[in-house]
Amino acid sequence: MVVRHVLAGTGRQSGPAVVNMFVIAAGGASAAGNGGNATAAAGGGGAILEQVFSINTGQTYTIQAGNGGPGINGDLAAGRLGSAGGYSQFGTFYVSGGYAGAYGAAGASGVVGSTAAGGGNAGGGSAGGGGGAGAAASTRNGGIGIQSILYNELYGGTIYWGGGGAGATTTGGGGTSGTSGLTGGGLFPAGNGTYGGGGAPNDWNLGIGGGGGGGMVIVRLNPAITVSSTTGSPTVTNKNGYNYYAWIGNNNSATVVTGSITF
């Protein structure tokens, strides 16, 4: 699926081929562990937004790279709910984290579209796959994520962000898993999500479910643009004729990564 880019202005640049862009991807949700004789649903993947933006000298952009929701012990009926993924932010732009997997969750299985307001929904029913940033889940199979141009430029590969976690069976004692959303979703049993993907539930009565994958914020700049300060210790890389500033969120964690960039 192609990421939709929204032209918000190109700013003052030295050449027509150099475009200032950002990408924000939210954290994926965790799945619950399991109890009783049923299997919890998988966590959903975080939403993603990637677009051109304009530079205003003196402006500070607040940064947050959302956390991947920590896995939750679901041995007790009241505990069969995972943790939502954390939202990510670049200035006034936000994307929402994935929705937590839960025993008996009855919601829709996914949100389609790179700029959807929310991340992938939890798997529908018990054992359902988590929704991805790019597509709904299909029964136990997690929905696909979305490729990020900037992430793949910077780190290489064809990584998909926000894949849904794989679901499992509706009966106790374990069973055949679903398929994780491409790249990021966790695999059954108790697989952790990466790249903003959702976690997978654990096997019957075995406690903690898989955690979600952390989100990211990456800013790509014309090297002629002056950055006066940053916070949050971003990784700074000069590559492909651009300067990249990257804040990467934590997997399976309650801790978010925050920072800022000032021009």
Q: Is 175 a domain residue?
A: yes
Q: Provide the pLDDT confidence category of residue 37 given band limits of 50, 70 and 90.
A: low
Indicate whether 68 pLDDT > 60: yes
Q: Is 18 a domain residue?
A: no
Q: Quick one: average pLDDT of 47-74?
A: 90
Q: Is 98 a domain residue?
A: yes
Q: Is 19 a domain residue?
A: no
For position 42, what pLDDT does the model report?
A: 82
169-173, 179-183, 252-256: segment of lowest average pLDDT? 169-173
Most distant CA pair in the chain: distance in Å?
Answer: 63
Q: Provide the pLDDT confidence category of residue 243 given band limits of 50, 70 and 90.
A: very high
Indicate whether 48 pLDDT > 60: yes
SS3 for 150?
helix
Identify any residues that bridge with 247 across adjacent strands, giving them in sequence order. 217
93-97, 141-145, 204-208: segment of lowest average pLDDT? 204-208
Q: Is 33 a domain residue?
A: yes
Range of the domain at 200: 1-12+25-58+66-263
- High-pLDDT (> 70) share of the chain, %: 75
Count of CB atoms within 10 A of residue 75's CB? 17
* Rounded distance between C-alpha atoms, residue 65 and residue 228, angstroms: 21
Q: Is 174 a domain residue?
A: yes
Q: What is the count of structural domains for the chain?
A: 1
Q: Is 260 a domain residue?
A: yes
* Rounded distance between C-alpha atoms, residue 192 and residue 165, angstroms: 8
48-52 and 229-231 strand pairing: unpaired
Q: Is 94 a domain residue?
A: yes
For position 59, what pLDDT does the model report?
A: 92
